[in-house]
Amino acid sequence: MPLITTRSNASARGYGAFLAAAAASSTSFESIATVSVGSGGASNVEFTSIPSTYTHLQIRGIARSNRAGYPNDGIIVQYNSDTGSNYAYHELSASGDGGVSAGSSANTSLQFIQGIAGSTASASVFGGFVIDILDYKNTNKYKTLRANAGYDGNGNGYRVFSSILWLNTNAINSIKFTQRSGNTWEQYTSFALYGIKGAA
Partner 1 sequence: MPTPTYNCIATTTLSSAQSSVTFSSIPGTYTDLVVVIQAFWTTVPSNMYIYMQLNSDTGSNYSTTILSGDGSSALSTRFSNRTNMNMDYAATLVDEEPTQRNINIMNYSNTTTYKTAIWRSNRAGAGTDAMVGMWRSTAAITTILFDLEAGDYASGSTFSLYGIKAE
> In the complex, which residues of this chain contact partner 1 (CB under 8 A)?
1-9, 16, 18, 20, 22-27, 29-34, 51, 60-62, 92-100, 115, 122, 124-130, 148-159, 161, 188, 190, 192, 194-195
Question: Using CA atoms, how far apart are residues 61 and 26, in angstroms rounded to an integer?
Answer: 23
Contacts (Cβ under 8 Å, ≥6 apart) of 165: 87, 88, 89, 142, 143, 144, 145
Backbone angles phi, psi at 144, to 5 degrees: -120, 135
- Rounded Cα gap, residues 136 and 163, in angstroms: 14
Least separation in angstroms between residue 87's CB and partner 1 is 23
Q: Of 74 and 195, which has the nearer Cβ to partner 1?
A: 195
Report in angstroms how near the CB of residue 178 gets to partner 1 at its nearest: 20
Looking at the Cβ atoms of 24 and 139, the one nearer to partner 1 is: 24
Q: Tell me whether residue 133 or residue 166 sits nearer to partner 1 (CB atom).
A: 133
Quote the least distance from Cβ 31 to partner 1, whole Å. 4
Report phi then psi at 178, rounded to 5.
Answer: -120, -175
What distance lies between CA 80 and its chain's CA centroid?
A: 18
Nearer to partner 1 (CB atom), residue 97 or residue 140: 97
Q: How near is the Cβ of 62 to partner 1 at its closest, in Å?
A: 5
